[in-house]
Amino acid sequence: MAIRDNAFSWSMSRSTRLAECPRAYYLQYYLAHGGWDPSAPPEVKEADLLKRLKTRWMWAGIAVHDTIAEVIQAIQKGGWIPAEEAEKRLTERMRADYRASNNRRYLADRKAAALVEHEYKEGVADTTWQALYQQSMQNLRNFYAMDVVGKLRGLSPQQWLSVETMDTFDFDGTPVHVVLDLAYRTADDEVVILDWKTGKTKSSDYQIQLFCYGYYARSRWAAAKEPIHLEIAYLYHREVERVGFADAQSVEGEEYIRSSILEMKRRLVDPAVNVAREEDFEPLPEARRCGGCNFRRICERKGILKNLPPAPPYGRSSWSSARPAAAPSSPRG
């Protein structure tokens, strides 16, 4: 089935999705397009529903990001949200999301939280949800303990550049969407871009994402020779890693975007009008990745996953089981 009237654009999340699995990319950005329309075919509505699902790890990361964004936006306006209030907001956010998803409210409300674990009726133990919540709370507490908070409270209104704001810029005729967690200008007129990470893993893959952000910042805020600093804040580790950024990294970010756009368009029936066919986006079945994919129902029905070995369990050790003092035991309430 070909989907028309779907404007082509690029983002880091689209690029990552294509690299992980071209079939999932097709289902998310082409088959699911238009699924909000009541007159859409059943297969399009199904793909649209599955597209909106998040794994519990993604959901927890988003909840922490959103809470931190509220704190930073308050600082930007000259205010402040105490840690206790932020913890309360995170708890309420996660509890409300969990209940909405568990009750499958997302079937009628597109804005409601929708978790893979609830749609697929996965038997996730209460202790696993509790550990996830506790780690999210610890990430938030670690944010408050980091030096960057003091730096932000000392910024003048003119130094703020971006806080969780989507922007779009033109790249050789292609709209490119970026959402920076945080960008500001120092007293020395240097641009700092900071990206929050809530997991345990430290990966060099994050650098190319920041190079793309740096390329954007160079064209948006900084003159050719003005320094741009890229920083990854690992909340779990309470560490900030600075990534080098100079002309070579700007070129690397530019070339990454260009090559990714070319690969996306190479698969299209007609790049001029962004028409795609499912057969041009092969699946990449792999036990662990497919076991957590929001689109696996479609692939199971088509027999794509029938020869896969059982997926190894996601390690519970990736979330701390130590309960922080005074933390409610679970997002379930």
Using the predicted structure, report yes or no on whether residue 319 has a pLDDT greater than 50: no
| Residue 219 and residue 198 share a domain | yes
| Residue 291 and residue 238 share a domain | no
Domain membership of residue 295 (yes or no) is yes
Q: How confident is the model at residue 1 (pLDDT cuts 50, 70, 90)?
A: very low
The rounded distance, in Å, linking the Cα atoms of 30 and 277 is: 9
| Residue 229 and residue 196 share a domain | yes
| Residue 285 and residue 237 share a domain | no
What amino acid is encoded at 192 in this protein? V
Poorest-pLDDT segment among 105-114, 247-256, 300-309: 300-309
Torsion angle defined by CA atoms of residues 38, 269, 53 and 170, in that order, rounded to the nearest 10 degrees: -100
| Residue 142 and residue 278 share a domain | yes
Domain membership of residue 207 (yes or no) is yes
Q: Is the pTM of this model over 0.85?
A: yes
Using the predicted structure, report yes or no on whether residue 320 has a pLDDT greater than 50: no
For residue 163, the surrounding DSSP H or E stretch is: strand 160-171
| Residue 114 and residue 40 share a domain | yes
The rounded distance, in Å, linking the Cα atoms of 314 and 117 is: 13
The rounded distance, in Å, linking the Cα atoms of 48 and 24 is: 12
Q: Are 232 and 210 in contact (CB under 8 A)?
A: yes
Q: Are 83 and 141 in contact (CB under 8 A)?
A: yes
Q: Collapsing DSSP states into helix, strand and coil, what is residue 243?
A: strand
Provide the residue range defining the domain that includes 35: 12-148+270-316
Domain membership of residue 258 (yes or no) is no
The rounded distance, in Å, linking the Cα atoms of 156 and 154 is: 7
| Residue 31 and residue 132 share a domain | yes
| Residue 204 and residue 144 share a domain | no
Q: Which residue has the higher pLDDT, 319 or 247?
A: 247
Q: What is the pLDDT of residue 305?
A: 86
Domain membership of residue 6 (yes or no) is no
* 279's tokens: 């057969």
* 138's tokens: 């610890």
Using the predicted structure, report yes or no on whether residue 332 has a pLDDT greater than 90: no
Domain membership of residue 127 (yes or no) is yes
CATH number of the structural domain spanning residue 233: 3.90.320.10
Q: Helices 83-102 and 56-76 sit at what angle, rounded to 10 degrees?
A: 140
324 contacts: CB under 8 Å, gap ≥ 6: 134, 137, 138, 141
Whats the size of the chain, residue-wise?
333
Domain membership of residue 226 (yes or no) is yes
| Residue 134 and residue 16 share a domain | yes
**Mean pLDDT over each residue of the chain, to the nearest integer:** 89
Long-range contacts of residues 93-98, Cβ cutoff 8 Å, at least 24 apart: 93/63, 93/66, 93/67, 94/60, 94/63, 94/133, 94/136, 94/331, 95/331, 95/332, 95/333, 97/59, 97/63, 97/331, 98/129, 98/331, 98/332, 98/333
pLDDT digits (tens, 9 = 90+) for 246-276: 888 989 999 999 999 999 999 999 999 999 9
Using the predicted structure, report yes or no on whether residue 24 has a pLDDT greater than 50: yes
Q: Which residue has the tokens 């969780």?
A: 164
| Residue 210 and residue 86 share a domain | no
Q: How confident is the model at residue 68 (pLDDT cuts 50, 70, 90)?
A: very high
| Residue 276 and residue 238 share a domain | no
| Residue 27 and residue 135 share a domain | yes
Mean pLDDT of 34-41: 94
Q: Which residue has the higher pLDDT, 81 or 311?
A: 81
Q: Which residue has the tokens 């900071």?
A: 194
Count the Cβ atoms, other than its own, within 10 Å of residue 319. Answer: 23
CA 52 to chain centre: 12
H helices of 27-82, where?
42-51, 56-76
Q: How confident is the model at residue 312 (pLDDT cuts 50, 70, 90)?
A: low
DSSP 8-state code for residue 8 = -
